[in-house]
Amino acid sequence: MNSVIITVGSVVMLIVFGSIAAYVISRRPGRLGGAAYVSFVVGIILPFQLAIIPVYVALRVLGLLGTHIGMIILYTGLLMPLTVFLYTGFARALPRDYEEAAAIDGASKISIFLRIVFPLLSPATGTVAILTGLIVWNDFFNALIFLSGSKSTTLPVMVYSFVGENVTAWNLVFTVVIISMIPILAFYLFAQKKFIQGFAGGMKG
């Protein structure tokens, strides 16, 4: 349940804020939009380990260390550059005809995004959900650092706890591994069509 809560919460936050940020960047040509896009791309390149100590201290000061909310915020910030990168490439390829027609009819920008743009971004949403969901679900390093000793331990850390220097509970290890594969495999089978469409749309763009 800890893995499910953290993964679902992180993916939802990434989809909500990533799609909005990417839409704004794609519809803001010029230096400002270009600079914002480049900053997100740089965020993909820079290793997160450089900021792990300040982030750890910040979460501890805020009382979010070892909590679901703290991990959701952490993964949202960590994977936001990748999310915006994927969404922006797809959003730039969307035609603006529907948006302009809705604006002429008096629709607000929020209404245009929610009713027109976001549904058209569904292939990119499927791609983002699967990729980021896999990363969060299988992440071991951050979960070990930020959840160690708490009640919010995720499955990868739980598997590690079954491996000891002298004794390894292989029956428990394989049980947890199989259990951890079922939800993400089921989700992939459900969203694979959108995942393939997202990659096809991204390559075409």
Q: Where are the domains of the chain?
A: 2-204
Residue 202 half-sphere exposure toward CB, CA atoms < 13 A: 20
CA-CA distance, 191 to 197, in Å (whole number)? 10
The pLDDT tens digits of the residues spanning 163-201 come to: 665 556 677 777 777 877 777 777 777 766 655 655 554
**Token pair 């820079």: residue:** 46
With beta carbons less than 8 A apart as the criterion, state whether 147 and 72 touch: no
Of the chain, the percentage scoring pLDDT greater than 70 comes to: 89
**pLDDT grade for 112, boundaries at 50, 70 and 90:** confident
* Residues in CB range of 66: below 8 A, 6 or more apart: 146, 147, 148, 149, 150, 151, 152
Decide yes or no: CATH 1.10.3720.10 for domain 2-204.
yes
In one-letter notation, the amino acid at residue 45 is I
Q: Which of 69 and 33 is assigned the larger pLDDT? A: 69
pLDDT of 111 > 60? The answer is: yes
With beta carbons less than 8 A apart as the criterion, state whether 134 and 195 touch: no
Q: Is 163 helix (H, G, I), strand (E, B) or coil?
A: strand
With beta carbons less than 8 A apart as the criterion, state whether 20 and 128 touch: no
With beta carbons less than 8 A apart as the criterion, state whether 68 and 2 touch: yes
The pLDDT tens digits of the residues spanning 22-65 come to: 998 888 777 887 888 888 888 888 888 888 899 999 999 999 99
CA-CA distance, 158 to 152, in Å (whole number)? 10
CA-CA distance, 131 to 82, in Å (whole number)? 9
